[in-house]
Structure 1
Amino acid sequence: MAHDIKNPISVISMSLENLRELYGVDESKQKQFDKVERSIDVIIHQIDDVLNFVREQPLEISKIKFSEIIRELLDSIKISNEIKIIIPKNDIEISCDKNQILICLNNLITNGIQAIRDKGEIQIRVSEQKDNVIIQVQDSGKGVSKENIEKIFEPLFTTKQKGTGLGLSSVVAIIDSHHGKISVTSPPTIFTITLPKTTDKT
């Protein structure tokens, strides 16, 4: 199903790249192509939100360095030159389903990028606390109101005009399956994920 949905979008993306090459340095047309590309990214993100929310998969737990997760994460996200991603200098080994945690972090980073309106800083931190690993994602946006924070993890709740309201709900489900917790404080907006150092396969 995911392939059937995403395949036409891939065709559109490839056609867009061909048009970019065809029109070369025509600045006005390149700006239009940028708008189309951003719209494609929104559609893909919305599809991913829905699929991640409805899809139930058994965890594939393995030990992995957090730096490897971050490297794959940054390779998968389009980041403008106006955004600075600050990654942790320290490294910690985590017992988790790498692909599922990538989905979580992708959602949080994407939310951060939207919050700072494609200009600002996003900081990722990782630390150890007794039997847990703590991951934090902080953005330099204006923050989230107290009213919205109380609803932020609820399915279908969104403050975005083009949001599905399922992204953070998927994050909660994934963290729950790892027997972990996620919380948020604002301002500044900081999402904190707490994972046990050892996670059983469920």
Structure 2
Amino acid sequence: METACNTADGRSIYVKLYSYPLKNYLGKVEGLVLVLEDVSELRKLENQVRRADKLSAVGELASGVAHEIRNPLGIIKAIAQTINGEIKNDDAKEGIGIIVQEVDRANSVIKNLLDFARPNIGNTKVHRLNSIMEDTIRITRKYAEQNRVEMVYEAVGEIFVQADKEKLQQAFVNVILNSVQAMPDGGSLNISVAEDERTAKVSFADNGTGIPPDRLEKVFEPFYTTKDMGTGLGLAITHRIIEEHKGYIEVESTVGKGTVVSIYLPSQPGEVENFEQENSHSG
């Protein structure tokens, strides 16, 4: 029998209950021995495998649909632009302009679909994870400030990962944007980078609105969104990118208190040669 329960420090864990009869020398049952086993890590791994399999299947479907739609959209746009050059009526021109604009918007969704279906991780190198995160914060800081969100960054030691730098940065940006949007009245976003036993951990902790338990498992599903604007593909793409880097993501959330997104990646010893090469290119 498995059940969920809360620990003394407020954590929610899954336990498996075993019961064994306690008999006397006559074989009569005089009691029970109860054994509780914490199976939280096992349940977590099972959920990660299930989620990865599901997203992989959806990705294959999305790729096929995206390619089938892209060609007719290209034809529609070409014809609309041709007509626009031949007509004089202003109202008709405005209508054609809307058609072209909506085709471009649909193509943008298709591009996101293809990014989700095949993250297209390029040639990976050993990079300083600290450096990637510092660049990400520099890119997103202005957006956070405009939304009255203070970003606090902390890194423990030099940490190296084998990564496609641009893709990994894209994943981090997606998480930061979602965290900022979860704090409509402003707040703080604490970002930390640490390493434990050859595993790098990047945490994003906000004090936003939080996510209800029934929605928590859906946040990485394609097209799942609670926003008025957006495709709901940002975190789905993030999940695929991290998966391609042989990592995984965990999300913990409390409604009214905030959300913590933790990304785990295999860390590297830190090959000085690649690191120096990276610095020489950036200089």
TM-score normalised by length of structure 1: 0.69
1:98 pairs with 154, 160, 165, which one? 165
Q: Which residue is equivalent to 1:84? A: 150
State the distance in 1 between where 2:172 and 2:164 align: 12
Name which one, 1 or 2, has greater alpha-carbon Rg: 2
Return the structure number with greater strand share. Answer: 2
State the distance in 2 between where 1:183 and 1:73 align: 20
**Uncovered stretches (5+) of structure 1, i.e. residues with no partner:** 2-42
3-state DSSP class of the match of 1:108? helix
1:75: Cα distance to partner? 2.7
Report the CA distance shift for 1:163/1:126 in structure 2 as closer, same or farther (over 3 A): same
Q: Which residue is equivalent to 1:185? A: 252
State the distance in 1 between where 2:222 and 2:156 align: 34
**Uncovered stretches (5+) of structure 2, i.e. residues with no partner:** 1-69, 71-104, 269-283
2:120 pairs with 51, 57, 65, which one? 57
State the distance in 2 between where 1:115 and 1:56 align: 25
User: RMSD of the TM alignment (CA)?
Assistant: 2.2
**1:196 pairs with 2:266:** yes
State the distance in 1 between where 2:266 and 2:122 align: 14
**1:152 pairs with 2:219:** yes
State the distance in 1 between where 2:129 and 2:186 align: 25
**1:124 pairs with 2:191:** yes
Q: Which residue is equivalent to 1:112? A: 179
User: RCO greater where, 1 or 2, for CA within 8 Å and sep 6 or more?
Assistant: 1
1:59: Cα distance to partner? 3.2
Query: How many residue pairs get matched?
Result: 155
Report the CA distance shift for 1:118/1:53 in structure 2 as closer, same or farther (over 3 A): farther
| Paired residues of 1:80 and 1:118 also in contact (CA < 8 A) | no
Q: Which moved more, 1:49-58 or 1:188-197?
A: 49-58
| Paired residues of 2:119 and 2:240 also in contact (CA < 8 A) | no
Cα deviation, 1:103-148, whole Å, max 9, x if unaligned, reads 1110000001100116110111111121211111111102100011
State the distance in 2 between where 1:140 and 1:195 align: 24
State the distance in 1 between where 2:127 and 2:267 align: 11
Task: Kindly provide the amino acid, as one letter, of the partner of residue 173 in structure 2.
Answer: N
TM-score normalised by length of structure 2: 0.50
| Paired residues of 1:50 and 1:164 also in contact (CA < 8 A) | no
1:71: Cα distance to partner? 2.4
